[in-house]
A and B are shown apart, each in its own frame.
Chain A
């Protein structure tokens, strides 16, 4: 699992590729929280193009990041999920708090 990040003002864009499971979730959380601890980050845009797999551990990691952002009234969106990743995302009910854009 690889993350490439980019800042555009208050927005943090994170392109995540590979597989997001229990094993890689640890690295995902560590890297994302390092960036999210920056007070000037107000929004996280996740781009999942190239993310080939996600299970409920990935869902747990996303929910944790959402809670961190919500704590500072931040926003979290996700885009470019493939069909299998999208299915588990919808199943989890995360779409009620994380907006799917494109």
Chain B
């Protein structure tokens, strides 16, 4: 069966950060997340999208693409930009590292993504762009399957 998926492209402007959180959150809600799981996903999306706006495009604008796909109890989110790229991904992902020390950036974006999501990979090519892939598994998605099993038992009995 095909995965349930969506993709979204929007301008890399800070006023769209809230929109990105809400869009991914409302798609993710189909997996019946807890409030905490939902907040985790929205926060991680906010971090990744902010990185595109601030770093990929240096606040000069560009396009951000978000792709989400659900597979059972898991959602995979890809946040794609076509900006400057990251020269040293390992260094960029170090806690509190920021390439903009004068600008009041906490350097915690990747740390937040890693803590709040169940998996994070970053692929980048200088001058071509970056793709951040994250995964979130919901604890409660077992519930629908239990209902189906109960329905089957009823049908078999009746």
Chain A residues within 8 Å of B, Cβ to Cβ = 19, 21-23, 26, 29, 53, 55-57, 59-61, 63-64, 83-84, 88, 91-92
**What chain B residues lie within 8 Å of A92 (beta carbons)?**
106, 108
A22 lies within 8 A of B112 (CB): no
Q: What interface size band does chain B fall in?
A: 20 to 34
Q: Indicate if B14 sits at the interface (CB-CB under 8 A).
A: yes
> Are B105 and A19 in touch, CB under 8 angstroms?
no
Q: Is the CB of B36 within 8 A of A83?
A: yes
* CB-defined contacts of A60 to chain B, threshold 8 Å: 104-106, 108
The segment out of B46-54, B65-73, B75-83, B136-144 that lies at the interface is B46-54
Which chain B residues lie closer than 8 Å to A21 at the CB level? 14, 17-18, 46, 50
Residue of A22, A64, A88 touching B17 (CB-CB under 8 A)? A22
Instruction: Collect the chain B residues with CB atoms within 8 Å of residue A19's CB.
Output: 18
